[in-house]
Amino acid sequence: MSDLLLPVSEQLLAPGELSLEDLPALLGELVGPGIDAADLYFQRHVSETWVLEDGIVKDGSFHLDQGVGVRAQSGEKTGFAYSNAINREALSAAAQAARSIARAGQQGRVQAFAATRSAPLYLAGNPLDVLSRAEKVELLKRIDSRTRALDPRIRQVTVSLAGGWEHILVAASDGGLAADIRPLVRFNVSVIVEQNGRRERGGQGGGGRTDYRYFLETDDHGEERAMGYAREALRQALVNLEAIPAPAGTLPVVMGAGWSGVLLHEAVGHGLEGDFNRKGSSAYSGRIGELVASPLCTIVDDGTLHGRRGSLSVDDEGTPTQCTMLIEKGVLKGYMQDKLNARLMGVARTGNGRRESYAHLPMPRMTNTYMLAGESDPQEIIRSVKKGLYCANLGGGQVDITSGKFVFSTSEAYLIEGGRITAPVKGATLIGNGPEAMSRVSMVGNDLALDSGVGTCGKDGQSVPVGVGQPTLKIDAMTVGGTGA
Amino acid sequence: MSAIEGVGPQVLPQLEEQVEQIIAEARRQGASACEVSVSVDQGLSTTVRDGEVETVEFNRDQGFGITLYLGQRKGSASTSATGAEAIRETVAAALAIARHTSEDDCAGLADPELMAREVLDLDLYHPWEISPERAIELALECEAAAFATDSRVSKADGTSLHTWQGCRVYGNSHGFVGGYASTRHSLSCVMIAGDEAQMQRDYWYDVNRVGEALADPVSIGRRAAERAVRRLGARPVATCEVPVLFSAELAGGLFSHFLAAISGGNLYRHSSFLEGSLGQTLFPAWLSIDERPHILRGLGSASFDSDGLATYAKSIVENGVLASYLLGTYSGRKLGLPSTANAGGVHNLFVSHGDEDQAALLRRMGRGLLVTELMGQGLNLVTGDYSRGAAGYWVENGEIQFPVQEVTIAGNLRDMFRQIVAVGSDLETRGNIHSGSVLIERMTVAGR
């Protein structure tokens, strides 16, 4: 990506009368006695949101956030400060604060820069500018009116369009120098339907590191992609109108392909982040080489997928992303690492050092986490279940990485009775233990799908966009938190 | 808006001046009305783990946001950039949006006569002049106390001291300008207990407007350690329908679902199961919920809401009956009701309670589940259906028998509210919602 260095430094540094040539001296101020490593993270992020409800585009908002984060490390200690202003004075003040963690020790050194090269995974242009404001408003109104025309039971339609464009520049005392320009767009539709006094909601959305034209393209069903989301939101809402209480108790569970990969994100992903494993606080700590899942499970974290929501050309520490094998045929192969945890654990970094913004410290985070396809026909997986639950769509999830307990909530689920999908059931939370649930995976489908691009992961108060995916799979027993029999 | 030095009340006049500059710029560019919020804040966070410093973070943020109107059309913009050019560009960005949004009858500022007339001094600003070295010492003391509590405390997962202070000024083109400075300080401790079979993590914390008023670090560390150790040996129980006691620290979350369901935004969007329930009996007759926005040093205190309306004390639930929705100017207009000065949320909510502490409530419960942790977001506000992951303790004969994990609790919020048997005297006061433990007559617990 070295060809991005100039345009990015022009955006980020030039307004404060700085240039790439000034960075070694600025890092030099940071790397005094007792500091092992230091970096500067410059960021400019513009974003906008347009929202339609009650049939009108009520509000739009524009946001500009910029600044520089300054980090100094001494052993396991990290000092951090940031500034909204990007100029020499502000950087010096932040550097003074960040390096206050240093104790006496060796004088650190700033290595000569070597620009990181990586393949571009997304367009460099501004994704917000490909449609005029009038066209954005028209798109929202068109989706709203066409959705309302689909069914008289619709009470409310909410449509939103959101986009962001981010410039980042990382300069590190180890000579790392990397720039990236990242687009991210999203479109969401929520529908509320009412029938005989009963009300239900359905929602669907998608997006990725691309621009708004993505929503105008024709989807797999021959329809404008944005309208496809609307039709899907309505379908889910109508299914839920018929839902009966979900069962309560332990049952076989079949997870649908795609967004149900939230399961892996929670049950496996977080527990394999380097920081938890360095600290020994994860249920997966110290288990490399052990069987931690059924041999049918091969799970990767892959930041290199073109245009995906969780993808990055380089991570927020300037490390190129990669496809990291986490679990291969059930055996734990590796963790996801940022620079600090890789250095302290004596392993290679994996391009998973991410941060919400310049005002936050990087830490090991997922990119796109998914399970590779297996051999079973999805229909055959359903047929193998006498009485169980089929989870077609999920809401959010959460994990306690120490005890290994994880949950996710269904937003569209059905009973399986006698090998057939039957009645839809109300949303319920499912709970399990990560390694235990993964060892109970008894069938894996041949239908790997990735999600549509709506995932946001929270950790220590920081949110980052992520992707998930999986084929249809069967877990022999999970606890289902309904109220029914 | 230029860079501001300091964050105390002394910068309020500067921030007020910036608000006026931004309003003037919006008028100059052609906005018919606007509202502006400017803030500056700074903080220090230190985290220690295993007797060593892990991070020292210095935070300092500054920014402003504007919502402006062209007649009944609206646009918003915000930025962290400073200077006259940032003001011009941000106003222009909001205006460019307002030229394309739709006419909305309900849009616009609140009526001028409803604006707050004075900004009360609610005693919210108590800066803590604590050095990073001292902050580290307190955190280390807290963690050491945790390790000393029990030999089964095997690992630390971070003990953090945060101190924060900030200043915020809101103003609008009616001429209202109001601002205040506030502080917030906290100390939290996360510990891991382990035995041959399990690792369990738990935490404890305190938060206060006044740093010196925080609970003793030793008591916080001990409590975190005891909570983690107490969870060792946790197991699921068999699926059953039993009474459930929400511990006081979870009660605020339970009532926050109620608040979401009576908030104007969800009501006018037809996305709340409590739409149309004003005047209905939702809780047992002995239960009342009040809002008291002007408590000195209160964590939720505010003298005006985010529309600039004066906040006032009121009854939300009176003898079990829903007495007031939570409305801002816009949602009020959508529903044909006056604003309740709750744009932006509630300000210090108090749930009435009896005189039984948690132990007495366990005796009253007899056999059931004491829940001390909830996981996931399994709540459907449209229907009130509730299903979440839970951990806690199994109770028989009014006494705790063993720790429980990997279960879910499920019900419908409408039923759960009606079936509140008692609220304990063990008040949780570290947040915006003050409540004791909540005993609910019956929920479905799913387990083995």
Measure in Å the smallest separation between the Cα of B64 and chain A Cα atoms: 10
Considering only CB atoms, which chain A residues are within 8 Å of B139?
none
Cβ pair B52:A53 closer than 8 A: no
Considering only CB atoms, which chain A residues are within 8 Å of B387?
246, 409, 427-429, 481-483
Q: What is the pLDDT of residue A2?
A: 62
Per DSSP, A265 falls in state I
Best to test chain A binding among B79, B80, B103 (most A CBs inside 10 Å):
B80
The rounded Cα A263 to chain-centroid distance in angstroms is 13
Question: Residue A105: is its pLDDT beyond 60?
Answer: no
CA distance A448 to A431: 23
Considering only CB atoms, which chain B residues are within 8 Å of A136?
100
In this prediction, what percent of chain A has a pLDDT beyond 90?
Answer: 89
> Tell me: the pLDDT tens digits for A239-267?
999 999 999 999 999 999 999 999 999 99
CB A337 within 8 A of CB A358: no
Other Cβ atoms within 10 Å of A425 Cβ, number:
24
Phi, psi of A281 (to 5 degrees): -95, 0
Considering only CB atoms, which chain B residues are within 8 Å of A408?
376
Measure in Å the smallest separation between the Cα of A118 and chain B Cα atoms: 30
Q: Which residue has the higher pLDDT, A109 or A401?
A: A401
Q: What is the mean pLDDT of residues A181-196?
A: 97
Buried b (16+ CB within 10 A) or exposed e, B199-238: bbbbbbbbbbbbbeebbebeebbbbbbbbbbbbbebebbe
Nearest-CB residue to A479 (from B54, B59, B447)? B447
Considering only CB atoms, which chain B residues are within 8 Å of A403?
198-201, 231, 234, 405
Cβ pair A250:B447 closer than 8 A: yes
Best to test chain B binding among A132, A265, A281, A430 (most B CBs inside 10 Å):
A281
Nearest-CB residue to B80 (from A67, A480, A481)? A67
CA angle B15-B18-B19, nearest 5°? 90
Nearest-CB residue to A57 (from B57, B60, B102)? B102
Per-residue pLDDT band at A113 (split at 50, 70, 90): confident
Considering only CB atoms, which chain A residues are within 8 Å of B103?
56
Q: Which residue has the higher pLDDT, A109 or A454?
A: A454
Cβ pair B408:A431 closer than 8 A: yes
Cβ pair A431:B444 closer than 8 A: no
Measure in Å the smallest separation between the Cα of B212 and chain A Cα atoms: 24
A463 to A43, A208, A356, A361, A457: CA distances (angstroms): 16, 16, 6, 12, 5
Cβ pair A156:B444 closer than 8 A: no
Measure in Å the smallest separation between the Cα of B314 and chain A Cα atoms: 31
Cβ pair A405:B375 closer than 8 A: yes
Question: How many CB pairs below 8 Å do chains A and B form together?
Answer: 253
Q: What is the pLDDT of residue A181?
A: 96
One digit per residue, pLDDT tens: chain B, 448 residues? 456 677 889 999 999 999 999 999 999 999 999 999 999 999 999 999 999 999 999 988 999 999 999 999 999 999 999 889 999 999 999 999 999 999 999 999 999 999 998 999 999 999 999 999 999 999 999 999 999 999 999 999 999 999 999 999 999 999 999 999 999 999 999 999 999 999 999 999 999 999 999 999 999 999 999 999 999 999 999 999 999 999 999 999 999 999 999 999 999 999 999 999 999 999 999 999 999 999 999 999 999 999 999 999 999 999 999 999 999 999 999 999 999 999 999 999 999 999 999 999 999 999 999 999 999 999 999 999 999 999 999 999 999 999 999 999 999 999 999 999 999 999 999 999 999 999 999 999 999 8
Measure in Å the smallest separation between the Cα of A382 and chain B Cα atoms: 23
Cβ pair B376:A398 closer than 8 A: yes
Q: Which amino acid does the sequence have at A356?
A: E
Q: What is the pLDDT of residue B2?
A: 57
No. of helices (H) and no. of strands (E), chain A: 10, 23
Report strand pairing: B73-79 vs B52-70.
Answer: antiparallel
Cβ pair B94:A405 closer than 8 A: no
Nearest-CB residue to B80 (from A84, A134, A156)? A84
Best to test chain A binding among B88, B159, B382 (most A CBs inside 10 Å):
B382
Q: What is the pLDDT of residue B1?
A: 45
Q: Which of A111-115, A466-470, B334-338 has the lowest mean pLDDT?
A: A111-115
CA angle B77-B81-B85, nearest 5°? 85
Other Cβ atoms within 10 Å of B261 Cβ, number:
26
For residue B411, the chain A residue with the least C-alpha distance is A483
Considering only CB atoms, which chain B residues are within 8 Å of A82?
58-60
Considering only CB atoms, which chain A residues are within 8 Å of B98?
60
CA distance A364 to A279: 13
A301 to A276, A335, A363, A384, B107: CA distances (angstroms): 17, 10, 15, 30, 46
Considering only CB atoms, which chain A residues are within 8 Å of B383?
199-200, 426
Nearest-CB residue to B378 (from A56, A62, A429)? A429
Per-residue pLDDT band at A123 (split at 50, 70, 90): confident
Question: Residue A15: is its pLDDT beyond 50?
Answer: yes
Q: What dihedral angle (degrees, nearest 10) is formed by the CA atoms of B106, B107, B111, B116?
A: 120
> Tell me: the pLDDT tens digits for A24-33?
999 988 888 8
Q: Where are the beta strands (DSSP E) in A54-133?
A: 56-74, 77-83, 114-115
pTM: 0.95
Q: What is the mean pLDDT of residues A86-98?
A: 90
Considering only CB atoms, which chain B residues are within 8 Å of A51?
none
Considering only CB atoms, which chain A residues are within 8 Å of B49?
279
Cβ pair A62:B93 closer than 8 A: yes
Helix, strand, or coil here: A129?
coil
Q: What is the pLDDT of residue A1?
A: 44
Q: Which amino acid does the sequence have at B201?
A: R
Helices (H), B150-237: 217-230
Q: What is the pLDDT of residue B155?
A: 95
> Tell me: the pLDDT tens digits for A288-314?
999 999 999 999 999 999 999 999 999
Q: What is the mean pLDDT of residues A401-428?
A: 96
Q: Which amino acid does the sequence have at B19?
A: V
Q: What is the pLDDT of residue A36?
A: 86
